[in-house]
Amino acid sequence: MPRTATFFPTLFCGESCDGRELAELQRLATPLAFHAGQTIFSEDERAESAFGLSRGVVRLYKMLPDGRRQVVAFAQPSDFLAMPLVDRFSFSAEAVGEASVCQFPREELKRFIQSSPNVMCLLIEFATRELETAQEQLMLLGNASAEEKVAAFLVGWRNRIADLGPSQPVPLPMRRQDIADFLGLQLETVSRTLAKLEERNVIRIVPNGVLLTGLEQTALVTARH
């Protein structure tokens, strides 16, 4: 079993767990690999297992009653793909590209978390970040223009992946349709908005990513903070 810095237990624990806690989390973890587009779990499925992301990006989404898809988040390494204490998944998880995941038996993991104060604190911190992200997304979906939504997404994604190390340009492994489904926009609107931002010289679109060349200083971003 791998014990590298890109193994989920190592990423999740960081410097916050003692050796016993890390060893137990590693013992419970079963590494799995998923190809692009492969489903990890489905909405309303019983949560017999919990999953943590070691490598890659995973889209989390719900299907709306009218058949549309709402992407609720893009998970990145060190994230649980759902709160590990839930009985049933409230959304689906699908690999954006190649992804490495750790699978945990939920009941064993639950008992371990309840007996490990450091891991419980990390889980509370994770849940708090997820709640803040969800609140920000609700504000974007309800009040922002298309340009504000796309600008906030690009800066927010850059800030999220910054914890994994500096990256310039900012990689965008997800498709534009994924971004549209996350922001509640049409695909054509996302493409048109990216082109507008590039015309204004605040971003530059490059293969598989984007350079932020002044976007953070625009009113599209600063007005929301």
Which SS3 state, helix, strand or coil, does residue 89 take?
coil
Paired tokens of 214: 């002044």
Pairing of strands 49-55, 99-105: antiparallel
Which residue did the predictor score with more confidence, 61 or 169?
61
pLDDT at 222 over 80: no
Alpha carbons 166 and 164: distance in angstroms, whole number: 7
Instruction: Give residue 4's pLDDT.
Output: 54
pLDDT of residue 169: 85
**144-222 and 8-134 share a CATH fold:** no
Check residue 223 and give left, alpha or beta (phi > 0: left; psi -120 to 50: alpha).
alpha
What is the layout of strands, in order, in the sheet containing 170-171? Answer: 170-171, 209-212, 203-206
The domain spans of the chain are 8-134, 144-222
CA pair distance 211, 154, nearest whole angstrom: 10
Average pLDDT over every residue of 101-112: 95
The mean pLDDT value for 110-131 works out to 92
Q: What is the mean pLDDT of residues 62-78?
A: 92
Q: What is the pLDDT of residue 1?
A: 41
Give the confidence band of 166 by pLDDT, cuts at 50, 70, 90. low
Q: Is the pLDDT of residue 188 over 60?
A: yes
pLDDT value for 182: 94
What pLDDT does residue 2 have? Answer: 46
Fold topology of 8-134: Jelly Rolls (2.60.120)
pLDDT band at 109 (very low <50, low <70, confident <90, very high): very high
**143 SS3 class:** helix
Neighbours of 179 (CB within 10 A): 23
In this predicted structure, what is the pLDDT of residue 160?
84
Q: Which amino acid is at 2?
A: P
144-222 adopts what CATH topology? Arc Repressor Mutant, subunit A (1.10.10)
Among residues of the chain, what percentage have pLDDT more than 70? 92
What is the predicted pLDDT for the residue at 16?
87
